[in-house]
Amino acid sequence: MNNVILLGLVSFFADLSTEMVYPLIPLYLTSAFGATPAVVGLIEGIAESLAGLLKVFSGYLADRYRRKKPLAFAGYAAGLVYKAGLLLAGSWAGVLAARVVDRVGKGVRTSPRDVLVSESAAPGKLGLSFGLHKALDMAGSTLGILAAFLLMRSPTGDYDYRRLFLLSCIPAAASLVMFAFIRETGTRVAPGRPQRVTVGLRSLDYRLRLYLTVVFLFTLGNSSNAFLLLRASDAGFETSSVILLYLLYNGVSSLLALPLGKWSDRTGRKRMLVAGYVVFTVAYAGFAWAGSRLVVASAFVVYGVFTAMTAGVERAYISEIAPSELKGTMLGLHSTLVGVALFPASLIAGFLWSRFGPEVTFSFGAALSLAAALLLAFRLPTASVGTSVPRGA
């Protein structure tokens, strides 16, 4: 469990650094470079898709060579390069390049890090371990957003974006220091003899194949969080208030991730995931038909509940039913499918927003989420809590 806590602290500092700047990126793009929602969607879609494509390869390498820690370290180190890129960017294309570097780093680190968490978890506490990691991750996000809010407060309304970009390098460096205390997990492979890893989708557990399909469908309607921030701004919130709303979302997720992850150990992953997709439907319906700023704020709270219900639980679910020799590859494949779907999802969201407005954008996402919940509820078999299902079940 010490390894899980240390990995959680790595994510805590890394996300503190990232979230000091992330909620400001769409506002920075629109105010400094005149970018449109469609451009924001393009940037987020390209960046997130590249990250997703790399996750399956980094997961494969972690399975093949059993060296998770160096891969994770390299991925987190890209965060420092990202901040330098933001400082040097002179156009929205420069911001795009910086975001690509950041997301490439995320693509490299996520799968091996998740395998480290899975292999460090105590028996019967997989949901608890992923919940603890996610809680620390989101706590870092919360403090990062709070730091952004406090540092960007200005009575004149003039925000010093670049100063904040520079300060965000400090926690990014702290996240790398934590790796000195993290232990490698699993059996080491002898030099020159990497473990053979064969990805055979037809031989995988039926549940895993179905769940990955549902995740892809769901993600097509789950556009970048940048659109949530734009929705808040569109509803009349000032820049500082938008940051507070994002702080509220992260705070709710951080508080609930651990107890909900622990609850999934007792009640089963399927129930939690189905309920999470239903909660997402409610959140996006709120963003779609927000009649007041109170509704928008409430939607951010509900969206935080959704994240706490699913972010750690889905990793625990995949870790349970994936073959042990393919755990990193399957965790990476899940993230890759999400990344691949995020590109058209962000483009679709940007197009729908520009053509029809935010109501249609978020209604589309709510409809796909409800469809995903129904597919899981009626097509995914239910297993005993904490047990795996034979392949082909």
Q: What is the mean pLDDT of residues 235-241?
A: 81
Model pTM?
0.79
Q: Report the 10 Å Cβ neighbour count for 381.
A: 10
Vertex 294 angle, CA 313 and 370, to 5°: 40
Domain contains 129: yes
Q: What is the mean pLDDT of residues 275-294?
A: 92
Q: Is the backbone of residue 284 left (phi > 0), alpha (psi -120 to 50) or beta?
A: alpha
Q: What is the pLDDT of residues 247-268, one digit of tens each?
A: 899 899 999 999 999 999 998 8
In whole angstroms, give the CA distance from residue 99 to residue 275.
32
> Could you tell me if 40 and 350 are in contact, meaning their C-beta atoms sit under 8 angstroms apart?
yes
Given this model, what pLDDT does residue 12 score?
96
Domain contains 388: no
Burial degree of 291 (CB within 10 A; 0-12, 13-18, 19+): exposed
Given this model, what pLDDT does residue 390 score?
34
Q: Please give the distance of CA 300 from its chain centroid, rounded to a whole number.
A: 16
Given this model, what pLDDT does residue 157 score?
52
Q: What is the pLDDT of residues 53-87, one digit of tens each?
A: 788 888 888 888 778 999 999 999 998 889 888 88
> Would you call 351 helix, strand, or coil by DSSP?
helix
Q: What is the pLDDT of residues 167-188, one digit of tens each?
A: 899 999 999 999 999 998 866 5
Structural domain count, the chain:
1
Domain contains 34: yes
DSSP state of 363: H
Residue 341's CATH number: 1.20.1250.20
What 382-385 contacts at long range (C-beta under 8 Å, 24+ apart), as own/partner pairs, is 382/268, 382/270, 383/207, 383/268, 383/270, 384/268, 385/265, 385/266, 385/267, 385/268
- How large a percentage of the chain has pLDDT more than 90? 39
> Could you tell me if 95 and 86 are in contact, meaning their C-beta atoms sit under 8 angstroms apart?
yes
Handedness of CA 390, 125, 115, 66 (dihedral sign): negative
- Domain extent for 109: 2-182+203-379
Given this model, what pLDDT does residue 196 score?
53
- How large a percentage of the chain has pLDDT more than 70? 88
Pairwise pLDDT comparison (151 vs 143), residue with the higher score = 143
In whole angstroms, give the CA distance from residue 41 to residue 51.
15
Residues 38/39/41/43 CA torsion (nearest 10 deg): 170
Domain contains 232: yes
Domain contains 339: yes
Q: Is the backbone of residue 204 left (phi > 0), alpha (psi -120 to 50) or beta?
A: beta
How sure is the predictor about 152, in pLDDT bands with cuts at 50, 70 and 90?
A: low
Distances from the Cα of 108 to the Cα of 15, 45, 222, 377, angstroms = 16, 18, 22, 32
Beta-carbon-side half-sphere exposure of residue 86 (alpha carbons within 13 Å): 28
Domain contains 22: yes
Element (H, E) at 1: none
In whole angstroms, give the CA distance from residue 7 to residue 327.
18
How sure is the predictor about 310, in pLDDT bands with cuts at 50, 70 and 90?
A: very high
In whole angstroms, give the CA distance from residue 75 to residue 332.
14
Q: What is the pLDDT of residues 347-369, one digit of tens each?
A: 898 889 889 988 999 999 999 99
Residue 171: what residue type? P
For the chain, give the mean pLDDT.
Answer: 84
Q: What is the mean pLDDT of residues 184-207?
A: 60
Domain contains 239: yes
In whole angstroms, give the CA distance from residue 332 to residue 112.
8
Domain contains 195: no
Q: Report the 10 Å Cβ neighbour count for 131.
A: 27
How sure is the predictor about 391, in pLDDT bands with cuts at 50, 70 and 90?
A: very low
